[in-house]
Amino acid sequence: MNKPLRRIAVFCGFLILALIVRDNWLQYVQADTLAKDEKNRRVTIERYATPRGNIIVNGKPVTGSKESGDGNDLKYQRTYSNGSMWSPVTGFASQSVGATQLESIEDGILTGNDDRLFFRRSLDMLTGEKKEGGNVVTTLNTAAQKAAYNGLKGLGKGAVAAIDPSTGAILALASAPSYDPSTFAGADGKAFQKLDKNKDKPMLNRALRETYPPGSTFKAVTAAAALEHGLYDDIDAPTKSPLPWTMPDTTQPLPNEGNIPCKNASLRQALRVSCNTVFGKIGSDLGKDKMTETAEKFGFNEEQFVPVRSNASVFPEKMDRPQTALSSIGQFETAATPLQMAMVASAIANDGKLMEPYMVSELQAPNLDVIEKHAPKEMSQPLSEENAQKLQDMMETVVNDGTGTNAKIPNVTVGGKTGTAQHGIDNSENPYAWFISYAKTDSGSPVAVAVVVEDSKAGRDDISGGGLAAPIAKDVMQAVLDSKK
């Protein structure tokens, strides 16, 4: 063979080798990735070829499936029962725009394609049975969710998160305004596009994905830091808190809201009337490192996965002394999700132990066999049992004889903290109304709640955590208590 032919033969050999390598790469290395790629139409066709399994609340499905009936190649589409109330929990499964939240995270179970259902699928093939999806059983409480959703509906924008302090199980997760996933479950995505462009952001899960300045509700964290780091021990002893109090390194006094008795007020009194001066000075005296340590034990500065992702709440790590004082009363750059503030109330109610929040109790096969069951898990211990009980005593005073009286429930011990957080440049916009709380009976604390009202229709002077948010929290707690009877 002459030299040019030999070169051509070698070149052709390399081409054939490249084709073989590429073919094997596609068929064996990338096969699984390509098979699951969202751009692969066959994936979508398979997802909607059979009815999806259901998302279950209190033993009843809040989802369903029906035949599309529109002539496209996707046979079934999702349906939702009271979709606007449950969308912050379920998310959506749409033929046109995909899936989110539980519908996306647990898609393998709901479609029946999860590897843990392989034996079931194989058995169905042998017996000729149609493939079915499994179920996702949630921890949500229907009555609590309804109370949260109905409470928010008339108040504009806001969110509610409720947790069982002893386990971390999420009992309610409501967001307003909301949307009905049924309106764009089919192949037509026009309704989704309209919702997506809505300036009020009805598709935003405010309970998990929006961070707000927590205002005075953060004073519960600052009080915990004061007790845990030994700055104060006796909650009824006077604190070293002058009035007025000028923030360190400034000539700026930190104001209180109105003429309230804050000079050297005890921790109990300071929380009862919500003294900025007392808690701002506590944060400044402790310093940013100790304040950050306590905040992070409550879950700040870290995303939560429940299993839906919740944004990380923020306690700023780079602060000077005045900024530390402001951060310690829930201002400056401090920001929290409603879930985070429910976690704060939950840890206090649970004698200082913070349980990892979750909202899926178990995954079921189509025949209802349990595939996976969640085991409650301790996340951290933000404060000792003794200090947690001191803080409970303080928060119960807030409800019994302070700014949180609208959360009182007859014959039930309720602890809480109100907050009215500044909003906008130079506090130019309506403030956020907050309330965090827990209910306690002889058998323990079955529920902790956080409520934020973001954009109330009320006049600015009528916006307060005790006036707007506390009644919603009360209704949610009452709903949980009634369901325990």
Question: Which parts of 402-469 fold into alpha helices (H)?
Answer: none
Question: CA angle, corner 251, sides to 247 and 252, nearest 5?
Answer: 60
- Side-chain half-sphere exposure of 48, counting CA atoms within 13 A: 26
CB contact set of 470 (below 8 Å; sequence gap of 6+):
404, 405, 406, 407, 416, 418, 435, 437, 451
The span from the CA of 117 to the CA of 114, in Å, is 5
CB contact set of 257 (below 8 Å; sequence gap of 6+):
274, 276, 420
Residue 433 forms beta bridges with which residues? 420, 453
Three-state secondary-structure class, residue 451: strand
List of long-range contacts for 401-405, beta carbons under 8 Å, 24+ apart: 401/272, 402/271, 402/272, 402/273, 402/274, 403/272, 403/273, 403/274, 403/464, 403/465, 403/466, 404/435, 404/437, 404/465, 404/466, 404/470, 405/466, 405/470
The span from the CA of 135 to the CA of 119, in Å, is 17
Choose the catalytic residue: 87, 175, 182, 216. Answer: 216
Q: Token digits for 23?
A: 């073919």
DSSP 257-300: SSS---TT--HHHHHHHT-HHHHHHHHHHH-HHHHHHHHHHTTT
Catalytic (active site) residue 216: yes
Active site members: 216
